[in-house]
């Protein structure tokens, strides 16, 4: 890579050269993928690796990890960067035509050392994780702004969620994992970096279909008669978006990259109520099922961890009204297909039929 670097970046660039596994091919576009070893970023990296016009630069804290090495085998460059260190991001983004951004609320929420720090600070782990996610999102935006001139017109593709506090007129003041994202994407970017905001697309992601693993007591609660009950604080028939995150995030983001910038999207393969979800699950597994709309307190109790319970139950109530998307008019996969852009997505029914449910059914 021969692009000149500002002096303050030269040291990090040396690190970048050390970590880069392959050199970008001349004439290829570079997509930098944050979180490339994770669910969303991994899906995006794999999708763009299928397009020979792109070099995929996979960003990770640990280039030696098995997941990072797996991406290298698939043809990605693997580059070390830390979301808490903006200088490493500025280096990793050098020459980028496209940046895919994702931030992770749940790692600082669950990590024992983060819980200890939150306790030291006298704040909840929920608030602590908000602060980390917000700070890391800002770092991504600051670093992306430093390379805005090389980005494509629609070159800043960010994973985000709706702003619960604003969308609800102040009714939801502590849905932290929504507002930490929305406060930066689009909030901070629009306020601080108009030129970057002009190249941004905001991609909201639906409920991951895999989320039952985090909340088994709410998704599939075994009853004394042997049936399974789904129990959320959301009305049974309130439609919510569902996403096969590892298979479909890449397809969706790849489709969005073919659109003009400045639009807001919802990545989902199905938009159906949880009542429909449990019926589909019962049909696929052959077991009797039911749905119960529970109270806030009941859902918290089902979660097994009060902090997790409170954080997610706010989301399930918010999903009821004003809605998971905050009432925004978001562009869907169907809209993209109508615009002539290929955007294959997995329906909830298809996804359920492909899972191994023996672990849940053995309970
Ligand atoms: N569960 C749901 O239903 C749902 C629905 C919508 C949105 N979400 C949101 O999805 C987000 C998580 O996305 P995901 O599932 O794709 O996450 P993930 O699988 O945990 O991946 C997160 C990635 O971020 C990277 N990362 C984390 N901290 C980093 C740091 N300090 N510096 C550099 N890289 C870092 C990690 O890479 P390395 O470890 O390799 O460094 C990892 O690959 C959360 O914020 C959540 O709120 C979840």
**40-94 confidence digits (pLDDT tens):** 999 999 999 999 999 999 999 999 999 999 999 999 999 999 999 999 999 999 9
**pLDDT value for 355:** 97
Q: How far is the CA of 286 from the centre of ligand 1 (A)?
A: 34
Q: Are 3 and 97 in contact (CB under 8 A)?
A: no
What does the pLDDT average to over 134-143? 98
Whether residue 23 is predicted with pLDDT greater than 60 in this model: the reply is no
**pLDDT value for 363:** 83
Give Dmax over CA atoms of the chain in angstroms: 69
Both tokens of residue 244?
A: 């096969």
The percent of residues in the chain predicted with pLDDT above 70, rounded, is 93
Whether residue 17 is predicted with pLDDT greater than 70 in this model: the reply is no
**pLDDT value for 25:** 67
Pocket-testing residue among 104, 132, 205, ligand 1, by greatest number of atoms within 8 A of Cβ: 104
Separation between Cα atoms, residue 29 and residue 53, nearest integer Å: 6
**pLDDT value for 287:** 96
Q: How far is the CA of 129 from the centre of ligand 1 (A)?
A: 12
Counting from 1 in the atom list of ligand 1, the atom nearest the Cα of 82 is 32
Q: What share of the chain is helix, strand, coil (3-state, %, to 5)?
A: 50, 15, 35
The per-residue pLDDT for range 25-52, each reduced to its tens digit, is 678 999 999 999 999 999 999 999 999 9
Q: What is the mean pLDDT of the chain?
A: 94
Q: How far is the CA of 197 from the centre of ligand 1 (A)?
A: 22
What does the pLDDT average to over 166-179? 98
The per-residue pLDDT for range 212-267, each reduced to its tens digit, is 999 999 999 999 999 999 999 999 999 999 999 999 999 999 999 999 999 999 99
Query: 16 or 85: which carries more pLDDT confidence?
Result: 85
Q: Each residue of 28-39: b (16+ CB within 10 Å) or e?
A: ebbbbbbbbbbb
What does the pLDDT average to over 332-354? 98
Q: How far is the CA of 39 from the centre of ligand 1 (A)?
A: 7
Both tokens of residue 108?
A: 């600082």
Q: Are 126 and 174 in contact (CB under 8 A)?
A: yes
Q: What is the dihedral of CA 48, 204, 296, 106, to 10 degrees?
A: 50
Q: How far is the CA of 42 from the centre of ligand 1 (A)?
A: 10
Does an H or E element contain 21, and which? none
Q: How far is the CA of 287 from the centre of ligand 1 (A)?
A: 33
User: Residues with beta carbon inside 6 Å of ligand 1?
Assistant: 35, 37-41, 60-62, 65, 81-84, 102-107, 161, 177, 205, 207-208, 211
Pocket-testing residue among 32, 35, 326, ligand 1, by greatest number of atoms within 8 A of Cβ: 35
**pLDDT value for 24:** 59
Counting from 1 in the atom list of ligand 1, the atom nearest the Cα of 40 is 16
What does the pLDDT average to over 285-314? 97
**pLDDT value for 230:** 98
Separation between Cα atoms, residue 180 and residue 4, nearest integer Å: 34
Query: 25 or 188: which carries more pLDDT confidence?
Result: 188
Whether residue 11 is predicted with pLDDT greater than 60 in this model: the reply is no
pLDDT band at 163 (very low <50, low <70, confident <90, very high): very high
**pLDDT value for 112:** 97
The percent of residues in the chain predicted with pLDDT above 90, rounded, is 92
């Amino acid at each position: 890579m021969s692009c000149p670097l500002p002096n303050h970046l030269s040291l990090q660039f040396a690190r970048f050269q050390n970590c880069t596994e392959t050199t970008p091919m001349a004439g290829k576009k570079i997509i930098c993928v944050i979180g490339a070893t994770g669910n969303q970023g991994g899906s995006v990296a794999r999708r763009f690796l299928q397009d020979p016009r792109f070099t995929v630069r996979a960003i990770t804290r640990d280039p030696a990890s098995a997941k990072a090495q797996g991406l290298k085998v698939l043809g990605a460059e693997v580059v070390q960067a830390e979301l808490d260190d903006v200088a490493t991001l500025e280096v990793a983004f050098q020459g980028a035509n496209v940046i895919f951004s994702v931030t992770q609320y749940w790692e600082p929420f669950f990590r024992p050392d983060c819980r200890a720090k939150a306790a030291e600070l006298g704040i909840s782990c929920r608030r602590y994780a908000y602060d980390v996610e917000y700070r890391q999102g800002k770092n991504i935006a600051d670093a992306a702004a430093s390379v805005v001139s090389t980005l494509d017109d629609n070159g800043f593709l960010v994973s985000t969620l709706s702003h619960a506090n604003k969308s609800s007129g102040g009714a939801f003041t502590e849905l932290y994992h929504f507002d930490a994202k929305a406060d930066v994407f689009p909030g901070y970017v629009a306020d601080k970096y108009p030129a970057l905001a002009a190249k941004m697309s905001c991609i909201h992601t639906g409920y991951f279909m895999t989320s039952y693993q985090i909340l088994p007591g709410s998704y599939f609660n075994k009853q004394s008669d042997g049936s399974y009950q789904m129990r959320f604080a959301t009305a049974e028939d309130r439609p919510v978006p569902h996403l096969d995150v590892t298979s479909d995030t890449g397809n969706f983001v790849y489709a969005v990259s073919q659109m003009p910038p400045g639009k807001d999207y919802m990545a989902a393969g199905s938009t159906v109520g949880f009542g429909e979800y449990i019926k589909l699950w019962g049909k696929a597994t052959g077991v009797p099922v039911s749905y119960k709309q529970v109270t806030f307190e009941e859902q918290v109790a089902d979660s097994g961890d009060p902090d997790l319970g409170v954080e997610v139950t706010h989301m399930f109530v918010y999903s009821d009204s004003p809605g998971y998307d905050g009432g925004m008019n978001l562009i869907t996969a169907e809209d993209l297909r109508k615009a002539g852009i290929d955007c294959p997505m997995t329906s909830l029914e298809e996804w359920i039929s492909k899972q191994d449910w023996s672990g849940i059914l053995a309970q």
